[in-house]
A = this chain, B = another copy of it.
Amino acid sequence: MTDTMLLQNLRPFGAAATDLLIENGQIARIAPDQRAGEGVPVEDCQGAILLPGLVEAHTHLDKSLWGMGWREHQAGPSLRDKIDTERRLRREWDIDPHRQSTRQALLSLGHGSTAIRSHVDVDTETGLAGIAGVQRTRDELHDQIDIEIVAFPQSGLMSRPGTLDLLDAAMQAGADVVGGLDPCGIDADPKGQLDAIFALAETYGKPIDIHLHEAGELGAFSMEMILERTRAHGMQGQVTVSHAFCLGMPDRDRARALVADLAEARIHIATVATVSRPVPMVQDLRDAGVILCAGSDGIRDTWGPYGNGDMLARAMLLGLRNNLRADPDVEHALWCCSWGGATVMGLKDYGIEEGCKADLVLIEAETVTHAVVSHPPRKLVLKGGRVVARDGAALKAAP
């Protein structure tokens, strides 16, 4: 019974020390001074803070260069150039989706993420190879980390004939979410792209996650088309818009009206806490009741050299980006990196209560805010009640 154990002397969310009994992979009892039954392993957590497993809600597992040696950045400044450079380097550098997604997933696991939503490229060049590679990783790591796969038309959907059939095939092959991308900026056919992906989502009964880099009025226009289709298809609560830079537009009244509409249609927002351009503000979304989740975006890939998959560090960046200083506000940034992602991914029995799944992370810090700003190596990470990482590194070796 490796998924049964007693964790002693931990502090849920920084509260008073207590013990936590795990049985059959679930939290069975949270109470002080518990004694372990015979044969039940005991872990002394030495007063560490207990949080639920963190959630990496927006990344690209198939394209990281992690572990491949340093590669100088080659892409030009435009979005289109990054996309084209990536397609070229994927061939030239042998960026194997299975190997690289395994490396990044284990990296994330070492930092305490127990669930990942990953966009995975589908295009006329790579076909379904990325989907297959990440699916294999998902299967091999199924008892370590939850991986949700978004079939993502990175190179364009309507503007690259054949991609829609591949996206359909990816959903047929078991992808979890239908992806989209800048229906105006990349495809120049917002009606075509959005009608297509909402139709696919309906066919397969799956949610949608759309990258929307489009800024200002253009992004707002696309957002309105997404809102319209979310309502028409009855997909409230099933649509996520990633980045949503347009919500940071200068016209704050217009942005707030959009946020109110998002709340009403229960559309979620995923942010990567971009700091170089306007972004949706945490406070606006929270006040309106829009769920905000967060992710690392690409980690050390052909798009840029940054990132390490640490969602506590991402919570810090989210706090800095939104000028969050008071402890409850910084705690909310962490909420986005845990409950926010869990909500968007629809994770069942998530949290730290009796009956919840024992996906847990232990951190040596004084308070939750202290954990966010200092993000020390994670002391212990559990998935389904089993220890999967310790002292900042996954127990399973990366390829």
Residue from B300, B321, B369, B374 in contact with A275 in the complex, judged by beta carbons closer than 8 Å? B321
A69 to B306, CA, bound (A): 31
Residues of the B chain whose Cβ atoms lie less than 8 Å from the Cβ of A169 = none
CB-based contact A70/B366 at 8 Å: yes
Within 8 A of B (CB), among A63-77: 69-70, 72-73, 75
A207 at the interface (CB under 8 A from B): no
CB-based contact B323/A370 at 8 Å: no
Contact with B along A299-333 (1 / 0, CB 8 A): 01001111110000000110111110111001000
A70 to B317, CA, bound (A): 20
Q: Which partner residue on chain B sits nearest A321 by CB separation?
A: B275
- Taking the closest CB of chain B, its distance from the CB of A384, in whole angstroms, is 31
CB-based contact A72/B306 at 8 Å: no
CB-based contact B305/A373 at 8 Å: yes
Within 8 A of B (CB), among A44-79: 69-70, 72-73, 75
Within 8 A of B (CB), among A266-289: 275-277
Contact with B along A231-251 (1 / 0, CB 8 A): 000000000000000000010
A92 to B126, CA, bound (A): 63
Known: A305-B369, A369-B305, A374-B308. Is A72-B276 also a contact (CB below 8 A)?
no
A24 at the interface (CB under 8 A from B): no
CB-based contact B325/A73 at 8 Å: yes
CB-based contact A327/B72 at 8 Å: yes
A367 at the interface (CB under 8 A from B): yes
Q: Which partner residue on chain B sits nearest A300 by CB separation?
A: B373
A305 to B72, CA, bound (A): 34
A330 to B325, CA, bound (A): 28
Known: A275-B321, A306-B316, A320-B276. Is A327-B373 also a contact (CB below 8 A)?
no
CB-based contact A69/B325 at 8 Å: no
Q: Which partner residue on chain B sits nearest A277 by CB separation?
A: B323
- Which residue among A303, A306, A366 has the maximum number of chain B CB atoms within 10 Å of its CB? A306
CB-based contact B306/A276 at 8 Å: no
Given contacts A73-B326, A304-B325, A306-B319, 7 further A-B pairs with CB under 8 A are A276-B322, A276-B323, A305-B327, A305-B369, A305-B370, A308-B373, A308-B374
Q: List, sorted by A's number, 22 A–B pairs whose CB atoms are closer than 8 Å.
A: A69-B366, A70-B366, A70-B367, A70-B369, A72-B326, A72-B327, A72-B369, A75-B325, A275-B317, A275-B320, A275-B321, A276-B322, A277-B323, A300-B373, A305-B327, A305-B370, A306-B316, A306-B319, A307-B373, A308-B373, A308-B374, A317-B320
